[in-house]
Every structure is written in C-alpha cells, then in structure tokens.
Chain A
Amino acid sequence: SQTIHQWPATLVQPVGSPLSLECTVEGTSNPNLYWYRQAAGRGLQLLFYSVGIGQISSEVPQNLSASRPQDRQFILSSKKLLLSDSGFYLCAWTADSNQPQHFGDGTRLSIL
C-alpha cells in the first residue's frame, strides 16, 4: 500500500532563517505531488505542484520554493523565513488527476 511521510512534525524557526521540509511517498511511481498551506481559520491553499521529477509549478507568488529531486521526494524550501510563513504545511500525492489526493500528517511551522 502507499504511504506518505512528512517531517518534521513541528518546527520553530527564527525570522530570516532557512527552511527545508521534506515529503516522501512510498508504494507508487510517478505520483503527482502537492504542497499546501493551511493558515489559522482558513482552507487549504495550494502552493506548489509537480507532475514529474524536476517539474515544479507555483500557484501563488511567495517566499517559498519547491524541488523534486527524485520521483517520490518533494521538498519545500525557503532561504529566509518571514513571520507570514507560519502555518500548517501539508504534502499530498495522487496517482492521477482522477483519484483523490492523500495527505501526510503535516508540519506545524512557527516563526518567531
């Protein structure tokens, strides 16, 4: 069966520090991968998506970037975190666009 892993579960970072969140999927090949952010009291906002290695698309301009160095690995990064980057970050995968997306357990990011 397929599983998705995200780490770390929680992270506290100072403003201006770098960020790297990792997501890996097991049990499937060539998944579509997604990064979402949920701010307090808001729905899930799509940040990045990828349909293959090295193929990244961004939904909204922001202080973050994403990379897909391997088929089942998706990384969310920032060179310098802002206070507004605080939130709950979720990675998701799907086998294709006709299937539900499945989410990891998320990373709670707090910026001080």
Chain B
Amino acid sequence: DQQVKQNSPSLSVQEGRISILNCDYTNSMFDYFLWYKKYPAEGPTFLISISSIKDKNEDGRFTVFLNKSAKHLSLHIVPSQPGDSAVYFCAASERGSTLGRLYFGRGTQLTVWP
C-alpha cells in the first residue's frame, strides 16, 4: 500500500516558468516531509524539507507547501531552469520514531525546456 503518492509521472515546463510538483499522503502520523532530486545514475539529493508545524518553507527558488487537512504537499520551483530537469521524489516520515524511516513516492520526471 503506497502511503506517499505522486500521481503525475512527468511534468514539462518552459524555462523561466513555475514548476509545481504534487504529492499526497495517507498516513496522518507523518510529520516530516522531504523532497529529493535525482539525476540518472546518481543517488537522490536532499532538496528541502518541512515539518508539520509549518505550512511553508522556502529555500531560494524552491518552496514547499504543506496542507495537513488535505494531506497534500507541493514543491514550487521558480523560475525553472534546464538544470532542474530530474526526477523529484516526495518522502515522509514520523519524526518520533527511532528509525526515521522514509516513505517515498514513485517520483515525477520534470523536464524544463528552453
């Protein structure tokens, strides 16, 4: 059972425009959410995170929004650049667990074209 879902396998955006990647989760115990970026033949790279006590976190061109009532989060990239083309994974965890296990979505392939 997929507890973290990314329903769009791909997204194509023109350079300079906004990219919005979406993620839904089902487990109400999740309180820590992360986005990873992955290039082919490389491991995922941590991008940005948000705790459930917040509804927004910004880091440069990247902003993550959390809607706890809808169990939905999104990653906004503004402005999008060709170098942002990669697979983006959403992940979630329960911070109180000693394991810190992450549950991942299946990823969204973002393509930014000139």
Contact = CB atoms under 8 A, between A and B. Distances in A.
Nearest to B100: A97
B99 A32 contact: yes
A98 B101 CA distance: 10
Nearest to A49: B99
Interface size of A as a range: 20 to 34
Contacts of A43: 2, 4, 89, 104-107
B32 A98 contact: yes
A44 interface: yes
A104 B97 CA distance: 23
Contacts of B46: 100-102
A103 interface: yes
Nearest to B105: A43
Given A42-B106, A43-B107, A100-B49, A49 B101 contact: yes
A97 B98 contact: yes
Nearest to A91: B43
Nearest to B35: A100
Given A43-B89, A97-B93, A97-B97, A103 B43 contact: yes
A44 B98 CA distance: 20
A49 B34 CA distance: 19
Interface in B16-42: 32, 34, 36, 41-42
A90 interface: yes
Contacts of B36: 103
B42 A105 contact: yes
Contacts of A46: 101-102
A51 B104 CA distance: 20
A46 B3 CA distance: 13
Given A32-B100, A51-B98, A106 B41 contact: yes
Contact of A41 (B34, B45, B101, B106): B106
A65 interface: no
17 contacts: A43-B104, A44-B104, A57-B99, A90-B43, A94-B100, A96-B100, A97-B93, A97-B97, A97-B100, A100-B34, A100-B46, A101-B46, A101-B102, A103-B36, A103-B43, A103-B45, A105-B41
